[in-house]
Amino acid sequence: MGEYAVEMLHITKRFPGIVANDDITLQLKKGEIHALLGENGAGKSTLMSVLFGLYQAEEGEIRKDGKKVEIKNPNDANALGIGMVHQHFKLVECFSVLDNIILGAEPVQGGFLKKDEARKKVMELSNRYHLQIDPDAKVENITVGMQQRTEILKMLYRDNEILIFDEPTAVLTVQEIEELMQIMKGLAKEGKSILFISHKLNEIMEVSDHCTVLRKGKYVGTVETKDTTPEKLSAMMVGRNVSFKVEKKPAEPGDVVLDVKDMTVAGQNKKDAVQDVSFQVRKGEIVCITGIDGNGQTELVYGLSGLEPLKSGSIHMNGKDITKASVRERSTSGMSHIPEDRHKHGLVLDYSLEDNLVLQRYFEPQFTSKAGLMKRKEIREYSDRLIEEYDIRSGQGSSTIVRSMSGGNQQKAIIAREIDKNPDLLIAVQPTRGVDIGAIESIHRQLIEQRDAGKAVLLVSLELDEVMDVPDRILVMYEGRLVGEFKPDEVTVEELGLYMTGAKKQEV
Amino acid sequence: MNTKNEKKRFLEIGGVQTVIASLICIILGLLVGYIVLLCINPAGAWDAMTSILKNFLYFPRPEVALEYFGSTLAKTAPLLMCTLSILFAYKVGLFNIGASGQYAVGAGLALYLALAYQMPWYVCMIAAMIGGGLLGGIAGILKAYLNVNEVIAGIMLNWISLYSVNMLLTNVKESSTTYTMALKTNSPDALIPSLGLDKLFSDNRYVTIAIPLAVIIAILVWVVMSKTKLGYELKATGLNKNAAKYAGMKEKRNMILTMAIAGCLAGLGAAFLYLSGIEQWSCAQTAVPAMGFNGIAAAFLGGLNPIGSIFSAFFIQHITSGGSYVDKMVYCAQISDLISAIIIYFCGFVLFFKYCMNRKAKK
Amino acid sequence: MALLLQYTLIYASVLMLVALGGCFSERSGVINLGLEGTMVIGALGGALVMKYMGDLPAALMILAVVLGSVIFGMIYSLLLAVSAINFKADQTLVGTAMNLLGTAAATVIVKAINMGENVNNVSSSIQYIDQRKAFSAFKIGNFEVSWFMILAVILLIVAHVVLYKTRFGLRLRACGEHPQAADSVGINVYKMRYAGVLISGFFGGLGGIVYITAGVSEWKFENGVAGFGFLALAVMIFGQWEPKLIGLAALLFGLFRALSNVYSGFDILEALNIPSAVYNMLPYIISLVVLALFSRNSRAPKAEGIPYDKGQR
Amino acid sequence: GPSKSSQGTGNSDYRVAMITDSGDITDQSFNQTTYEACLEYCTENNIDFTYKKPDGDTDYARIAMIDVAVAEGYNIIVMPGYIFAPALVEVTYKYPDVKFIALDMTAGDIIAAAVGNKYYENPDAYEASDYYNVENTYCAVYQEEIPGYMAGYAAVKLGYRKLGFLGGQAVPAVMRYGFGYVQGINDAAKELGITDQIEVEYAYGGQFYGSTEVTAAMDTWYSQGTEIVFACGGGIFTSAAEAASKVGGKMIGVDSDQSPIIDAYGEGMTVTSAMKGLGATVKAMLDSIIVTNTWEEHVGKIENLGLVSGTDMDVNYVGLPEDTTQWNENFTVDDYHELVRKIYDGEITIDNSTEKMPEVSVKVNERQGSIM
Ligand SMILES: Nc1ncnc2c1ncn2[C@@H]1O[C@H](COP(=O)(O)OP(=O)(O)OP(=O)(O)O)[C@@H](O)[C@H]1O
Ligand SMILES: Nc1ncnc2c1ncn2[C@@H]1O[C@H](COP(=O)(O)OP(=O)(O)OP(=O)(O)O)[C@@H](O)[C@H]1O
Ligand SMILES: [Mg+2]
Ligand SMILES: [Mg+2]
């Protein structure tokens, strides 16, 4: 028995046209938390999928406890005690939490489910690891945090010794992230070995023992976390130094661009998601709305952009009443919107990049003739320009199908499209979610450039670094209401947290 | 090396792939069909297969063959319209299985106006188009506002239309038969004009301007889908209705519009057939018109491309008509249905073969 | 009244069985639009058994008929399984082709058999006058209960138990909702979908034989099954893909179908003198209205109709 | 191809082709009887025979099949059904050397096919012979109303009071049977002075085959007291027989003596059958062309085939089967012969129109639309 729980030696995995993993070696010690770091598309998820049996590597071998093993499918992985929390949760929405946990490893008698036995075991695990769940709740009705805990319980239920977490924190709130870090540390202390993927260096610094860095499918190196700094890590990952502190001049707010009064938006359930919210955004300032996911930010943006009607209240933009205006009218009168969910709203994934880049302006005379024919040549020129200016990387340029692009580049395309519209008001919702640090830097820079060009920017984010660094003003949202307003340099993260969880309140 | 590259590039062209994939499906279908024929009666299999494939060429005299070529074309026109109807909706992410019902309604209105009110052909044609469009629109509204799956709504509407049209057309049927009155004798103005086209096909009077019209409409559909703002919007709605809404498109309206246009196409198809006089509606009909279902096959066989559909619709009609020349003393009448059903089944594999070729070409 | 009940139950058994078939297939993620064709082929299987094994003792014969029809139904459903699961063909197209193919194939086969026996017998009918008598379980006055009705009820309960109480059911449903999730916990999605489609062949085939023996002792295969497969799909949706509700929906649809046949037994209805086309349309109109009212929160399996590709994420 | 099959194996210059109408040769009715008669005759005489089924229920498709048959070298074309009228109008001039036998074809059918519905406005203004080639075509129509009448008359005389008529589709031949049946019932009831005791259920199935739906409707009839049903339309009798077998109901067969096949559902179920000699006509015509050379006596005619003699039952084209009809003391074979005589002599007249239900004094419950 060696010191490694799992070794992945010289793994090479190719996809048509790309080497996703090129001779990568990763050794996971028993009882350690090992972080995996790399830009979007560096090959992290692929490597983990190989370990979990979702893909087969073309070259290289996997060793478990020093012995060579074959992992052909998740069943094999399970048998070897390897479990994975996927980047995109793999939960059946209409099943209960309990059903999701036992799926694939059901206790049965003659084919019939023994739910009581399963429930007992799950609740035991839940108590032991402080993983709060409601076993009978349907997954579609629970928070992302609980979904995450369900995924973790899924692994523990199978007595897995090696746990893979693929970007588990991308969708969690600060509190939930903190909780998760504690859970991971606890698991490691129990002797479980953990592989942890994240784009957030502070998390890696906090929990991991080692960190392996990948770049463009290649192995860059493995370092001991306690011997390194975020700066060093990012340099390893991107190949250059990345500045974390956002450089910006003080704001010079001008006229009011967006004026929201007593806005109320209906929610999924009986309760209104947004209640009597009023605020203003001026030219030349970035206002950030923050709060824990599910406190009405999404609906607030839907209301602003016209995706959902208001129940009451009014919206004025540049003095004009746009309360009842359609999405299109808002867009043409100067509103841009970087949506929260780029796959749901932001992109037509099966359209080409150029078609996506004109998604908000295809109807303008420069792209469509009077007869209704699309001006293909002009569209191509426009798209080529944006690709060049915003450094959108893709396989076949303008004609690339967006689905095949990496998440970070998809996001860049949206940002390019929305900014190039030259809006008076830019609404940016979670603009950096799931994007690597190099891209985060450039997105932040662009938001500030917009501000400096005299635009109004409304940022909606729950990424605390972003909330503290980018905006000029912070508004905290809790249960559909605005409960606090701050200047970034006059408030601490802890203070914000109190407002976000409803522990403190002020009249706004 | 160079030629290899060229070959590779040639294979990468979407159109080439579609044609090859469709040909593979046809060949597979014919092969399996042939095996079935062999199983039933080995002696007549070859003759039967050639009769099906020859269709009008079965006639030794060229002028007769030409005449029946014209008839095949006359029946291709409505099939092409149904194909376009299905294809159009499919491109927008909707499955218009209701084409049959829209077709029935088109036939109902066209024939009713022609026979009860002696309306001229263009009025009947427009009415058929509107009728089909309305029915399609209903399915669209149900989908857009009430989230009713359009396939199921389409199936229900097919039957409702069939029974309603039967009831309506009973008012204009021949007094001693179950058929609607013949247009030639009862409402000659309702017949689509030939403008001399019939002369090209040994005076086949069913060869009307419906045929070139159908081809023009196919080209029009292609232009709309790939070149216009409307096509851009509709396709975007089909691929991601949330994104369409986000981009300020009226996604509900687009969905309804799509189904309505699809319905118009199917309704027009019925007008093309019934106003050519080649067929009379039987008011005792208990099966939904097969045209709509054949259209599904033709749409896939044509690689979901409007231009490809012109050829695939012709091919499907060609073998359907060819089926009637099979020697009925050797094989029973349903054998031709069987062969075309087999080919239709294999049409389901077109996209798969295309995908395979794509992968091969990329490698 | 007894007649209305009788025919309601007859139609309900058919619709229930076929809808359950659709339910299993869709729960696994494959839309089976080819149930109409599957019914015809299943009916053919059962009819052939009656033709060739009609001399068996009643109980054995019934068993053999059921077996014959379900085996035929299952084999036929492989056409869908192979194309939709392995070749990722469009399920709606394949289903449609199967409907066309089912009637044509059954007719060709029966004609070949009939002509094989007697060159001049070109009919596509199979007769089973005596055999059919065995299906009657017992009679209460005018009201005749057939073994098939009893079987349908049993299978309804079995379907419910399988779907909600067994490991197989849980896994099947997972594949129709989120195949990637199922795959990631080691469930073979392809296998489960095969199972779903084969079960739909089982039920579809059984529904076919029940349909053709319901009211006649001779079936002409040219005529297919008169849209029952499609009606069953509506029953399935109305029943929200749940066996219990499918049972109720089948009863409702069966009632309307029966009413259109026996309305002349009711003086009020006869006095109304409504054309029978209206009665024929009723089940379809009602299902459309019902769908319009209840589809907003439709609980269709999320992944139905989408081919599963292991490699794709 | 046609060239190949034109070198037939038959030993005659004549080659016979039959075209089916909307049904198939398996319809247990019109097409099937014609097909079987042709096949039997041609096999006996070693003559090439084939049949063609159009690929759709359209005149165009029917004409196409005639074109094919002629192209293949067939020179006697048999067409069963009024539905061929438009085809007849078109092809008889086109192929002067081919001989056409059209069954169930009235002059009205031909004229309506040629001039449209305006024929019905003024039927007397037209002459059928203007519209088709009388040099090469023989048409025959059966007087189905006569056997229909006989069946209805006999049923009432035999003691049945609640009767039913189940047609296939509402096509002229079926309607003539049905309307004749109702007239027969009415006349018998009048003779017995029991018109108030008689009730007739009247419906079309909408199809020429049995199905659960039709059985359900028949169950309703029988369960409400209907004693006997005249099932008239191909295989639709199976549904009526099914329902009858459950309650010991009775049936009347159609076209031929159907007692053997209907009685499979229950011993003694078939009271009688309304027959017409379709097969006999086909054979007689083929014989007149091919063997006896008497075609000239028939060609150009549109014959009404019904009663040829008031006394010799064997030569009549229509009638009831004497051996299997369940005669009793109220209505004997002799009474039947008397009835035939009266009809032949014109003492009894039967309306043969198919426009609407005949005016009668018994109660007729006519169903709106067909069952399917
Ligand atoms: N199923 C697939 N088919 C084809 N190519 C793939 C597939 N999965 C991954 N790739 C390719 O492999 C590369 C590595 O992808 P991977 O998902 O491992 O990246 P990642 O490091 O996890 O990125 P991210 O940080 O965005 O999650 C991608 O750039 C992509 O082009
Ligand atoms: N079907 C596919 N074909 C080719 N490449 C793919 C495919 N699916 C994913 N990829 C590639 O895999 C990489 C990672 O994809 P992934 O789904 O992890 O998105 P992501 O970049 O992490 O974005 P997000 O943050 O939204 O999850 C991307 O570079 C993408 O190009
Ligand atoms: Mg990843
Ligand atoms: Mg990511």
Whose CA is closest to A350, among B244, B97, C87, C86? B244
Angle, helices A407-420 vs A437-452, to 10°: value is: 10
The radius of gyration computed from the CA coordinates of chain A, to the nearest angstrom, equals 24
Whole-angstrom distance, CA of residue D157 vs CA of residue D334: 13
Angle, helices B14-40 vs B350-362, to 10°: value is: 130
Whole-angstrom distance, CA of residue B81 vs CA of residue B270: 8
Contacts of A246 (CB under 8 A, 6+ apart): A444, A445, A448, A469, A470
| Digit-coded pLDDT (tens) for D125-134 | 899 889 999 9
Query: Is it true that A4-238 and A243-334+423-508 share their CATH fold?
Result: yes
From A11, A13, A14, A15, the mutation candidate for ligand 1 (largest count of ligand atoms within 8 A of CB) is: A15
Least confident span in A8-17, C45-54, D332-341 = A8-17
Give yes or no for residue D1 having a pLDDT over 80. Answer: no
Residues with CB under 6 A from ligand 1: A 15, 18, 20, 38, 40-46, 87, 406-407; C 311, 313
| Digit-coded pLDDT (tens) for B31-40 | 998 998 898 8
Contacts of A281 (CB under 8 A, 6+ apart): A256, A257, A258, A287, A425, A456, A457, A458
Reduced to 3 states (helix: H, G, I; strand: E, B; else coil), residue D166 is strand
Residues from chain B that touch D372, judged by Cβ atoms under 8 A, are 286
Other Cβ atoms within 10 Å of B17 Cβ, number? 22
Instruction: With respect to residue C306, please indicate whether it lies within any of the assigned structural domains.
Output: no
The domain limits of chain A are 4-238, 243-334+423-508, 349-421
Instruction: With respect to residue C301, please indicate whether it lies within any of the assigned structural domains.
Output: no
**DSSP assignment string, A101-163:** HHTTS--EETTEE-HHHHHHHHHHHHHHTT----TTSBGGGS-HHHHHHHHHHHHHHTT-SEE
Give yes or no for residue D114 having a pLDDT over 70. Answer: yes
Reduced to 3 states (helix: H, G, I; strand: E, B; else coil), residue A278 is strand
**pTM of the full structure:** 0.88
Model confidence at C313, in pLDDT bands (50, 70, 90)? very low
What's the confidence (pLDDT) of residue D2? 40
Number of structural domains chain C divides into:
1
CATH number of the domain located at residue range(s) A4-238 in this protein: 3.40.50.300
**DSSP assignment string, C244-260:** HHHHHHHHHHHHHHHHH
Chain B residue with Cα closest to C122: B332
| Digit-coded pLDDT (tens) for B131-165 | 999 999 999 999 999 988 888 899 889 999 999 99
CA of D370 vs chain C CAs: smallest distance (Å):
6
- Residue C31 sits in a domain whose CATH number is 1.10.3470
Instruction: With respect to residue C206, please indicate whether it lies within any of the assigned structural domains.
Output: yes
Whole-angstrom distance, CA of residue A113 vs CA of residue A111: 6
Instruction: With respect to residue C310, please indicate whether it lies within any of the assigned structural domains.
Output: no
Contact indicator for A448, A286 with CB cutoff of 8 Å: yes
CB contact under 8 A, B160 and C292: no
| Digit-coded pLDDT (tens) for D239-289 | 999 999 999 999 999 988 999 989 999 999 999 999 988 888 888 889 888
CA A434–ligand 2 middle distance (angstroms) = 11
Whose CA is closest to B45, among B29, B30, B28, B60? B30
Reduced to 3 states (helix: H, G, I; strand: E, B; else coil), residue B213 is helix
Give me the domains of chain B, ranges plus CATH numbers: 2-362 (1.10.3470)
What's the confidence (pLDDT) of residue A303? 95
Residues from chain C that touch B290, judged by Cβ atoms under 8 A, are 100
Cα torsion B61, D21, C214, B159 to 10°: value is 80
| Probe site for chain C from A45, A91, A94, A100 (most C CB atoms < 10 A) | A94
What's the confidence (pLDDT) of residue D5? 40
Residue at token pair 């009606």: C231
CA angle centred on C221, ends D219 and B294, rounded to 5°: 120
Model confidence at D231, in pLDDT bands (50, 70, 90)? very high
Least confident span in A479-488, B213-222, B335-344 = B335-344
Instruction: With respect to residue C313, please indicate whether it lies within any of the assigned structural domains.
Output: no
The radius of gyration computed from the CA coordinates of chain B, to the nearest angstrom, equals 21
What's the confidence (pLDDT) of residue B324? 84
What's the confidence (pLDDT) of residue A223? 94
Do C and A count as touching (3 or more CB pairs closer than 8 A)? yes
What's the confidence (pLDDT) of residue D97? 93
Q: Which tokens sit at A485?
A: 């307003």
Chain C CB within 8 Å of residue D26 CB? yes
Whole-angstrom distance, CA of residue D51 vs CA of residue D34: 10
| Digit-coded pLDDT (tens) for B87-115 | 999 988 898 999 999 999 999 999 999 99
Whose CA is closest to C182, among A104, D308, A46? A104
- Per the prediction, chain C carries an average pLDDT of 90
Higher pLDDT, D55 or A203: A203
What's the confidence (pLDDT) of residue D10? 61
Local confidence pLDDT in tens for the 508 residues of chain A? 468 999 999 999 988 777 889 999 999 999 999 999 988 778 898 999 999 998 899 999 999 998 999 999 888 998 999 999 987 788 998 999 999 999 999 999 999 999 999 999 999 999 988 888 999 999 988 877 888 899 999 999 998 999 999 888 877 777 788 888 999 999 999 999 999 998 888 899 999 999 999 988 999 999 999 999 988 888 888 877 766 677 788 888 899 999 999 999 998 777 889 999 999 999 999 999 998 777 889 999 999 999 999 999 999 999 999 999 999 999 999 999 999 888 889 999 999 999 999 999 999 999 999 999 999 999 999 999 999 998 888 878 899 899 888 777 899 999 999 999 999 999 999 998 877 788 888 899 999 999 999 999 999 998 888 898 899 999 999 989 999 999 998 998 888 888 888 888 887 6
Mean of the pLDDT values across residues D202-230?
92
Contacts of D254 (CB under 8 A, 6+ apart): D177, D230, D231, D232, D233, D237, D273, D274, D275
Model confidence at D4, in pLDDT bands (50, 70, 90)? very low
What's the confidence (pLDDT) of residue B3? 52
Largest CA distance in chain D: 67
| Digit-coded pLDDT (tens) for C88-99 | 888 988 998 999
Whole-angstrom distance, CA of residue D372 vs CA of residue D208: 11
Whose CA is closest to B140, among B157, B125, B124, B126? B157
What's the confidence (pLDDT) of residue C8? 93
For C154, the domain range is: 2-294
CA of A237 vs chain B CAs: smallest distance (Å):
30
Residues from chain C that touch B351, judged by Cβ atoms under 8 A, are 88-90
Mean of the pLDDT values across residues C277-292?
84
Q: Which amino acid would we find at residue A343?
A: H
Do C and B count as touching (3 or more CB pairs closer than 8 A)? yes
Model confidence at B10, in pLDDT bands (50, 70, 90)? low
Percent of chain B topping pLDDT 90: 54
Mean of the pLDDT values across residues C15-35?
96
Nearest to B280 among D58, D171, D355 (CB): D58
Whole-angstrom distance, CA of residue C302 vs CA of residue C178: 7
CA of D40 vs chain C CAs: smallest distance (Å):
9
Helices (H), chain D: 2-5, 30-44, 59-71, 85-94, 107-115, 118-121, 145-157, 172-192, 212-223, 237-247, 259-262, 278-290, 295-298, 333-345
**Phi and psi (nearest 5°) for B61?**
-80, 125
Give yes or no for residue B193 having a pLDDT over 80. Answer: yes
Q: Which tokens sit at A140?
A: 């579609």
| Digit-coded pLDDT (tens) for B307-338 | 999 999 999 999 888 888 888 878 887 887 88
Instruction: With respect to residue C278, please indicate whether it lies within any of the assigned structural domains.
Output: yes
User: CA separation (Å) from A125 to A122, A150, A230, A417, A489?
Assistant: 5, 11, 35, 48, 43
Chain C CB within 8 Å of residue A493 CB? no
| Digit-coded pLDDT (tens) for B66-76 | 989 999 999 99
Reduced to 3 states (helix: H, G, I; strand: E, B; else coil), residue A318 is coil
Angle, helices B229-239 vs B251-274, to 10°: value is: 110
Instruction: With respect to residue C307, please indicate whether it lies within any of the assigned structural domains.
Output: no
What's the confidence (pLDDT) of residue C60? 93
Shortest-distance Cα residue to atom 28 of ligand 1? A41
Chain A residues 127-156 within an 8 A CB cutoff of chain C? 154
Whole-angstrom distance, CA of residue D99 vs CA of residue D88: 11
ipTM of the complex: 0.86
Q: Which helix (H) or strand (E) holds B155?
A: helix B150-169
Residues with CB under 5 A from ligand 4 (ion): A 407, 434
Domain A243-334+423-508 belongs to what topology? Rossmann fold (3.40.50)
Shortest-distance Cα residue to atom 30 of ligand 2? A406
Q: Which amino acid would we find at residue B40?
A: I
Contact indicator for A79, C165 with CB cutoff of 8 Å: no
Least confident span in A389-398, A414-423, D24-33, D60-69 = D24-33
What's the confidence (pLDDT) of residue A385? 95
Mean of the pLDDT values across residues C19-28?
97
Contact indicator for D78, D137 with CB cutoff of 8 Å: no
Give yes or no for residue B9 having a pLDDT over 70. Answer: no
Contact indicator for C7, C261 with CB cutoff of 8 Å: yes
